[in-house]
Structure 1
Amino acid sequence: MKISSAVAPALALTLAVGTAPAASQEPAAPAAARTSVADAQLKTLLDTEWAWRLGEFGGDEEAGVNAPDHLPRVDAASQQRRLAYWQSALRTLDGIPEAELSAENRINAAVFRTSLDASVSQIKFREYEQPFGFWTWMAPRAGYRSVAEYRAYLGRLRDMPRYLAEQTTNLRAGLKRGFTPPRVAITGREATILPLGSGDAAANPLFLPFANFPSSIPEAERAALEAEGRTAVAQAAAAFARLQAFVRDEYIPGARTTIAAEALPDGTAYYRAKIREHTTTDLTPEQIYAIGEKEVARIDADMQATMRQAGWKGDFKSFLHFLKTDPQFTAKSPYELVAKSAYVANKAYGQLKFTVGLLPRYRFWIVPTPANIAPFATGGNGGLESCLMNTYDLPARPLYTIPPLTLHECVPGHSFQAALALEGPDRPEIRKTTYFSGYGEGWALYMEWLGTKMGIYETPYEEFGRETYEMWRAARLVVDTGLHSKGWSRQQAIDFMAAHTALSDHEIRIEVDRYLATPGQALAYKLGEMLIRRKRADAERILGASFDQRWFHDVILQLGSVPLPVLEATIDAWIAGGGKDPYAKPRLPQ
């Protein structure tokens, strides 16, 4: 995959293995001095931007950074102020001689540049005027660990009316200029706000932390915190009720009736920018569409073979109907679905010692997707604290898809990956908190495939479920570019997904609507996974018997989330260096 012009020359130089030192020692000292100056300049820039960022946005609970007692400002003036700051930071970064940075700092600079480019692009296109769904993850999933964290949460609750008012203003501005998600993709989504607007604290997801105090909160503090929580939740609920009425009565009825991203204001450039942001590549829609068609054909052949292995005598369409309708594939209760996921995770844990060299201490739990978002949410979501399994509409969550879903979202996928990132090397905060979809989703999809080597899939149906999930991500390359660049209709996309996967009809509709609402995001999964599998094949071919998958995986995981060109260059350097254990301590001279 091509490395962007901003990264390629210096990165290739840095990551080359076995570069000989200069023959003369005399010119080496000035070079070392220059490198130290460049490194110091980058460190100052990163530290300054991070301090500014904390002031602007506060912390990130998912990343292990304590959240503040208020929510960020999201009004247009604040957005333009951030644009000016990030553009200035990019100019400063341009002034740092990249060739004089250390190997680690060249990666830091590449991550920083890619992250800022995306942030600048988002504000230039005024994406903040389309924050539809921002409320979806505002309710905590569990209680907090200390009284101070509860006090900070109370502050955020009290700030929600102001925050929701600013977001409503943004939504109105986007509505006025036709910069909205397609109406067909968001119809009915006002229902996700309804629980947050409930005046009954016990029924409001925002109150959950006050109903689930951990043992670390003293009994003497709980009554006061709960009372303050009830008052703050009531104030926030009133603001959410106003938001819900606006979204239901004005926003959704006024949303655009077109569906393509290229139909938005400056839509062609916008879609290209979203592809670049999510995939960190310069691939065009046409190139991605062609890649998708090729992958769909390859995986379709695999699925046909697995269907025959299962003993099915009929055609592919009838097999899909059987998988979608036979009751043996439907969990009888939410407990059974979550228990199946836990069983798969337990099997994966048993294989980790053969799969990954360095294991994290941090642990997550597997819980159902929150009820207020479950009807519109995908099958699962993995995060640092918890791995969610969607138990809404059980017939839409066939059991044969739970093994790949668990590997992807839980372990060794997103939740596992997030724990390692939390405990990773001492690096600039931007490296610890930035998430690139191509890297993160590519790793998680690769984990689904790796399950074939871990003994996870026990029946041909489960293997077909894995292939369905792989086909799902390959079909996205065709569907996303088809919808946003080739004039596809929503029904055309639904029919394409239904013809090639064993996903339920409900999940297909939810997924297609997600692609409509978030152009480009779905492209990252398959492109990232293809890169990792291609690099693994290179490593196995070049290293032969020396290849150790634990070290291959450690190289990827210890790097943290990076743009795909950086990931590729890093793996290539590791292969060229002999595929060694990246955590091995250097031996002392004998």
Structure 2
Amino acid sequence: MDKKLAAALAGACILLAAAAPAQAAAAQGAGRADARFKAIYTQEWQWRLGQHLEDEEDDDNGVRPDLPRVDPATQRARLAYWQGVLKRLDGIAPASLSAAERVNYAVYRAQIAVFVADQRFREFEKPLNADSAFWSNLADGARKHFSKAAEYRDYLKQLADVPRYFGEETANMRAGLRRGFTPPKVTLSGRDASISSVTEAKTAQDTVFYTPFKQMPATIPAAEQAALRAAAAKVIGEAVQPAYGALLRFMREEYVPRAQEALAAESLPDGKAYYQAKIVEYTTTALSAVQIHQIGLDEMAKIRAEMGETIRQTGFAGELPAFLQFLRTDPRFYARTPEELMMRAAHIAKKFDAKAEQYFGYLPRRRFAITPVPADLAPFYTSGRGGPGVYLVNTYNLPARALYSLPALTLHESAPGHAFQMPVAMEQKGRPPFRRAYISAYGEGWALYAERLGSEMGIYETPYETFGMLSYQAWRAARLVVDTGIHAKGWTRAQAQAYLHDNTALSEHEIETEVDRYISWPGQALSYYLGEMAIFKARRKAEAALGAKFDIRHFHDTVLQLGSVPLPVLEARIDAFIAEGGKSPYPKQD
């Protein structure tokens, strides 16, 4: 062996020998930090389960025998507990954790910070908005299908607990009412219909709560089925309907008449801080209302230019206002029956299936059903909503449900949007249970990105459908303007409605329900467009850095495999994707 080479090898060995203990020490340190962090989130998750704030991932019994406690003492205890968790988390340096736990830490700390903020602002004193409420969430649970007699018995116990639960929620709402912490009065008009649908039912069997008892599994003996049905009729008639009756009187006689008139979140107690906390929660950024408002205006100008080009492609001779009026009034763009709307949605979903393998390497195992929005929710519900196993299509008021927008809606709510993204995240193994939480900026950003992706996939077959997609993009960009306009700039309801009317093809019914949703749910509307912008920014960065190595399937798989995370975590993951050479996160699929 050459002496120089021998000397070099000897030197290298010395360096490796010196590095080995350092690497081992670093790994040992990360192991200790990981153990400390895991102990915190494992303990907190078990506490959370005990508080009935989450469900067990592998819960065989599909229903709890009681409802959560929401009284003020419980809420104060939750605040103190989560503040303690936050303090413990801040005692861990993220850099000391392993790579996987650094991601978990970023997700978990943001999650706990939101819990603390919600408790500090006493969000529990306002358990309703124009989109949903504690009583409608309870009714959603009644649409489950049970397979065992034990599940039915637990459900009966839960129904018996409704008076106690409603009493606590009502007491909280009274406390919010006293300090001016309510949704604006204008957004509550007609929202008691979902309460009166229960109170006005002629029999217990006519209520939504009796639904699981109408068709029961044959494995339950007939005599036991009869006993369970009789018990259900009794508890619904003696506990549930009276509780709904008391709630209806409270809403009509006390709450709605005294609800605050002002629209802005900044008009609420400690309003500026409250609205900024909502911005942080729903965008996972530190952007201000002023910055977001300007982003919305800038993006709207870009989309308006795209709209103009698409209008020219249709051959329409007029300008945008005339084109929007044409779209809103021409019967060719609207389904004649609910069945037609549902079938069109199903057709679009299957068009995606034909293209899926060209854009995604990993396809979720879980399929989804396409079903109409329940009649008691439909009048104030969004056009559609999707999630694991379901794509809900709103067939109420068909002249408000434009067919040219249906492709974008379907991509957003079904696949590759919510009914695709959520199952992919749920199918990832080895993650802490808190990672199942939905982060709006990521989830809604992905779903809006899915709408744009439809152009690349060839889903939009006519300029009208392309315009429908652009209208939806404008709708979400408009939310940046409208949400901040209402909650930080003193906009009126009429101003917000006019902005959507002038810049999107939404129907008047949709405009009214959407604006009321933004008014009563500060910050949530900001998630969509800012999330989409972050995903496109990451994609452009990866395309530029990887060049010919960029594979759209690998990029999409990487984004979806990560699951719901704050936007800075997504950005960091794509930086790692680039550093790794654009490889699939599922090596076996390469």
Query: In which range does the TM-score fall when normalised by the shorter chain?
Result: over 0.9
* Structure 1, 259-268 or 90-99: larger mean CA deviation: 90-99
Contact 2:310–2:466 (Cα < 8 Å) also in 1: yes
1:512 aligns with 2:508: no
Higher relative contact order (CA 8 A, sep 6+): 1
> Which amino acid is 1:495 matched to?
A
Counterpart pick for 1:29 among 20, 24, 29:
24
Q: Tell me whether 1:452 sits opposite 2:455 in the alignment.
A: yes
The amino acid of 1:126's aligned partner reads R
Question: What is the CA distance between 1:44 and its match in structure 2?
Answer: 1.2
1:374 to 371, 374, 378: 378
1:219 deviates by 5.2
5 Å-filtered alignment, 1:523-538, equals: 523-538=526-541
TM-score of the superposition, structure 2-length normalised?
Answer: 0.93
Worse-matched range after superposition: 376-385 or 272-281: 376-385
Give CA-to-partner distance per residue, 1:377-420, whole Å, 9 cap, x none: 11111122322111111111111111111111111111122222
Instruction: Let me know the Cα RMSD of the aligned residues.
Output: 2.0
Q: Which letter does structure 1 place at the counterpart of 2:162?
A: M
Match of 2:499 in 1: 496
Tell me the residue number matched to 1:175: 177
CA distance in 2 between counterparts of 1:181 and 1:61 reads 32
Assess if the C-alpha contact under 8 Å between 1:195 and 1:203 holds in 2. Answer: no
CA distance in 1, matches of 2:589, 2:394: 46
Within the candidate set 37, 40, 49, 1:42 is matched to 37
Tell me which of 473, 478, 490 is aligned to 1:475: 478
Please, which of 149, 157, 169 is the counterpart of residue 155 of structure 1? 157
Q: Tell me how far apart the structure 1 counterparts of residues 583 and 242 of structure 2 sit (CA, whole Å).
A: 58
Which of 304, 307, 316 aligns to 1:303? It is 307
Tell whether the 8 Å contact from 2:361 to 2:589 is kept in structure 1 after alignment: no
Q: Is the 8 A contact 1:22 1:28 kept in 2?
A: no
**Compared CA separation, residues 355 and 373, structure 1 to 2 (3 A):** same
Rounded Cα–Cα distance in structure 2 between residues aligned with 1:93 and 1:218? 52
Secondary structure of 1:367's match? strand
Q: Tell me if 1:261 matches 2:269.
A: no
User: Following the alignment from structure 2 to structure 1, what is the Cα–Cα distance between the partners of residues 109 and 344?
Assistant: 42
Deviations 1:235-280 (A, max 9, x none): 2122112111211221111111111111111111110010001111
Q: Distance in 1 between matches of 2:311 and 2:197?
A: 43
Match of 1:85 in 2: 81
AA aligned opposite 2:67: L
Could you tell me which residue of structure 2 aligns to residue 392 of structure 1? 396
> Which of 316, 319, 324 does residue 315 from structure 1 map onto?
319
Deviations 1:163-201 (A, max 9, x none): 111111111111111101111111121112112333523
TM-score of the two chains, using structure 1 as the length reference: 0.93
TM-superposed deviation, 1:478: 0.4
Consecutive unaligned residues in structure 1, runs of 5 or more: 1-19
Is the alpha carbon distance of 1:326 and 1:121 closer, same or farther for their aligned partners in structure 2, counting shifts above 3 Å? same
Aligned residue type for 1:150: Y
Count of aligned pairs between the two proteins:
567
Q: How does 1:386-425 map to 2 (within 5 A)?
A: 386-425=390-429
Q: CA deviation at 1:202?
A: 3.4
For structure 2, the residue ranges without an aligned partner over 5 or more in a row are 1-14
For the structure 1 residues 98 and 62, does the alpha-carbon distance in structure 2 shift closer, same or farther, using more than 3 Å as the test? closer
Q: Which residue of 2 aligns with 1:238?
A: 242
Shift of 1:58: 5.2
Which of 212, 222, 225 is the equivalent residue of 1:222? Answer: 225
Check the 8 A contact 1:292/1:475 in 2, yes or no: yes
Tell me, yes or no, if the aligned pair for 1:143 and 1:210 is still in contact at 8 Å: no
CA offset digits 1:452-490 (Å, max 9, x no partner)? 112211111111111111100000000000011111111
Q: Percent identity?
A: 52
Q: Closer, same or farther in 2 for the Cα pair 1:215/1:580, shift >3 Å? A: farther
Q: Residue 95 of structure 2 aligns with which residue?
A: 99
Q: How does 1:349-360 map to 2 (within 5 A)?
A: 349-360=353-364
| Among candidates 321, 324, 329, match of residue 325 of structure 1 | 329
1:129 aligns to 2:125 (yes or no): yes
Q: CA deviation at 1:153?
A: 2.2
- Which whole-Å CA distance do the structure 2 matches of 1:61 and 1:83 have between them? 22
Contact persistence 1:62–1:384 (CA under 8 A): no
Distance 1:229 1:344 in 2: 40
| Farther off after superposition, 547-556 or 228-237 | 228-237
